Amino acid sequence: MNHKKIGDVVLDVNHISLRFGGVNALTDISFDVREHEIRSIIGPNGAGKSSMLNCINGVYTPQEGSITFRGQTFKHMNSRQVAEMGIARTFQNLALFKGMSVIDNIMTGRNMKVKSGLLLQALRIGPAQREEERHREFVEHIIDFLEIQAHRKTPVGQLPYGLQKRVDLGRALAMEPQVLLLDEPMAGMNVEEKQDMCRFILDVNDEFGSTIVLIEHDMGVVMDISDRVVVLDYGKKIGDGEPEAVRNNKDVIAAYLGTSH
C-alpha cells in the first residue's frame, strides 16, 4: 500500500436500508470514505455490494438512511446530479459503445464538461474547436496513462476483455471525478490482467488523486491495495477496518468459508 495523505471524510453513508419486496438487500449500513483513500466493499455473492454502489450513485433510493457528500446530506439523488457533483463509476457489465473507437468512448466521459452550444460543436468553429482540442488533449493523457495508445482508433468491441475494462476506467477518469466508484473492476480477468488493473487503480489514486470506492467479491485481490475495507454479508455489515484486522475477523472468515469464494 502506498502511504499517502488521507484526508477528511468526503462520503458518509448513514444507516442505509434498502428492500426489494421481501428481500432486505441492505440493513442499516453505515461507513465513511476519506479523501484519497481506497475504500473497498467486499462480500460473497448477493451480499449487497452492487446495491450499496447503486445507492451511492443514485440508481436506487434506500427506504431508510442518508448519504452525505462533502457536507451535503441527501436522501435521494439522481444519477446525473451524482455525476455533476463529481462521483463517477465504472460498470461490472461494461457500458461502452462497442462500435466506437477507444478515444471516442473515453470522450463520452467529457460530455458533461462541454460548455459550447450544440451548433458550434457541430460546426467545430471558434471556441468550440478550441474546447474540443482541450478535451481531446485530456483524453490523450488518459490514453497514455492507461497504456492503450496502440488501440486509440480501435473499435472497443474488438479489444480483449481486460483492455475493455481499462477503457471503461478511462471513460470514468475523463469526468475528472473526486470519487471514483469501481464495480468489480477485476471480474472475469485472468491473473495478469488483474495485476495490471491493481496497478492502474493504485496509480489513479496516486496520480489523479481520486478517492476510490471499490466493490469486489474476491477478498484476496483487494486486500493489498485497500486502505480500509467494509465487509457485507446478506445485506449486513460484518466487518470494517484495515485489511489486516478484517482478514482476521471471525465473522468475515466464516462468511467466506461458507461460500465458494
Q: Which residues bind ligand ATP (CB under 6 A)?
A: 20, 23, 25, 43, 45-51, 217
Q: How far is the CB of 46 from ligand ATP (least distance, A)?
A: 4
Question: Which string of DSSP letters, residue by residue, matches 3-28?
Answer: -----SEEEEEEEEEEEETTEEEEEE
Report which residue type is found at 261: H
Q: How far is the CB of 187 from ligand ATP (least distance, A)?
A: 9
Cα separation, 195 vs 200, in Å, equals 9
Of the pair 6, 23, the CB lying nearest ligand ATP is at 23
Grid coordinates of 233: 454479508
Residue 191 main-chain phi, psi, to 5 deg = -60, -45
Q: Which residues pair with 68 in a beta bridge?
A: 12, 73
Of the pair 29, 159, the CB lying nearest ligand ATP is at 29
Of the pair 72, 93, the CB lying nearest ligand ATP is at 93
Label residue 126 exposed, middle or buried (CB < 10 Å: 0-12, 13-18, 19+): exposed
Q: How far is the CB of 50 from ligand ATP (least distance, A)?
A: 3
Q: How far is the CB of 183 from ligand ATP (least distance, A)?
A: 9
Q: How far is the CB of 53 from ligand ATP (least distance, A)?
A: 8
Q: How far is the CB of 12 from ligand ATP (least distance, A)?
A: 20
Of the pair 27, 154, the CB lying nearest ligand ATP is at 27
Q: Do residues 93 and 161 make contact, with C-beta atoms less than 8 angstroms apart?
A: no
Q: How far is the CB of 51 from ligand ATP (least distance, A)?
A: 3
**What number of H helices and E strands is found in the chain?**
10, 10
Of the pair 146, 230, the CB lying nearest ligand ATP is at 230
Interhelix angle 161-173/191-203, rounded to 10 degrees, is: 10
Report which residue type is found at 12: D
Of the pair 31, 138, the CB lying nearest ligand ATP is at 31
Of the pair 45, 72, the CB lying nearest ligand ATP is at 45
Residues in CB range of 192: below 8 A, 6 or more apart = none
